[in-house]
Amino acid sequence: MEVFLKIKNNEGLHARPAGILAKKAAEFQSSIQIEVNGQIKSAKSIMALMGLGLKKDQEFKLIIDGVDAEQASKSISDLVESEFKQA
């Protein structure tokens, strides 16, 4: 499953949102990766996410494969849309 998303928060994917995203991704059994500019990194790794250097308004592809892929896709998409505000 592939989902295209855009970073909406002003700071981009720095340490705090990367940590929130990695924690959310780790809740799922599925393989969850982010692709941007030809780089594919695990969404479950804070350091890998920060290494992508995603900025505000930058688009990326979420690649999810596994038994809970649909749930993971919705949960992570909602998190990105909310600008990484935790419920």
State the catalytic residues: 14
Q: Which residues contact 32 (CB under 8 A, 6 or more apart)?
A: 25, 42, 43, 44, 62, 63, 64, 72, 76
The secondary structure element, H or E, covering residue 71 is helix 69-81
